[in-house]
Amino acid sequence: SGMNKPLVTRLSMAIASLAVQMGWDTCLSDITNNVLSPHPELGPAVLELFRSIPEEADSSRLILPREEDLYPYRDMLRNSAHVVLGLCEHAVQSTMNSGGGSGGGGSANNSNNNNCDVATTEAVLSCLQSWIRIVDMDPVLLERTLLLPWVFDLLSDSVKGGFELAVDVVVELLRTYPSDRRGVEGLVRAMIPRVMALGDDNINTGQLSPFQKSINEEDEDGMRGYTRIFTEMSESYLSLILSHEEMNQASLVEFVLRCSNI
């Protein structure tokens, strides 16, 4: 529960640190099979633990006989990225299937579901950000995961739970996988239209973009979040903006200028 979150965080850091120091290279599958399977209600806590593991493997606090001992462990994390993405996908699908956050019903039960959904959403986003930032995951995995459209759905409205963390995830994706990096072409193609849709009004329906809506409503959180994404994209995808290939670069430059005017 939310009341226990600080305790869960500290326990996760302790277990993650122990896993790294012991070279417990089957920890992801062991915890999934022996903890999460019999106790699915521990999903947010397991995600918090999985978030902590890359951070501990990347930490300078650990005292190890040889730093080289960490290299195989970091390789294991890279090779196990699909396990963590799969767990995150399962958590998101379970949240959607539960019907939580869809409105309807005013019962205490529904309220508990909504709280659980917010906790799960935030746990997935935090775990995802940690793995994107620290573990050099294969961009093809990120290009194909259903987590990508889910994160951008959270960005469609700044009032939605997890908006700030979703902004962090997209900023991290743009920063970690810039357009001049090899092998990211598919991920870049998946990112561009989704980012642009946050700023482009829908001509066919007359619907305002989330960015323009936040400007009209003087929604500071929304404006700040979309501004972070557009400016990060303009830096990370600079090689595309300066290329001769027409990719609607003018619109992105226009978004950045509008951000500067706010």
User: Which is more confidently placed, 115 or 255?
Assistant: 255
pTM of the model: 0.86
Structure token pair of residue 233: 């994209």
Work out the average pLDDT over 137-153.
Answer: 96
Among the residues of 58-184, which ranges form H helices? 70-79, 81-98, 108-134, 139-144, 147-154, 163-176
Which whole number is the average pLDDT over 219-247?
89
Mean pLDDT for all residues in the chain? 86
Phi-psi region of 63 (alpha: psi -120 to 50; beta: other; left: phi over 0): beta
Q: Are 85 and 30 in contact (CB under 8 A)?
A: no
Would you call 146 helix, strand, or coil by DSSP? coil
pLDDT in tens, 72-94: 888 999 999 999 999 999 999 98
Between 185 and 201, name the one with better pLDDT.
Answer: 185
Residue 67 has a pLDDT of 67
Give phi and psi for 170, each to the nearest 5: -65, -40
Q: How confident is the model at residue 261 (pLDDT cuts 50, 70, 90)?
A: confident
* pLDDT grade for 225, boundaries at 50, 70 and 90: very high
- Do 209 and 229 meet the contact criterion of CB atoms below 8 Å apart? no
Task: Find the helix or strand (DSSP H, E) in which 20 lies.
Answer: helix 5-22
156's tokens: 């469609």
pLDDT higher than 90, residue 201: no
Which has the closest alpha carbon to 135: 245, 234, 20, 217? 20
**Model pLDDT for residues 34-43, shown as the tens digit of each residue:** 988 888 888 8
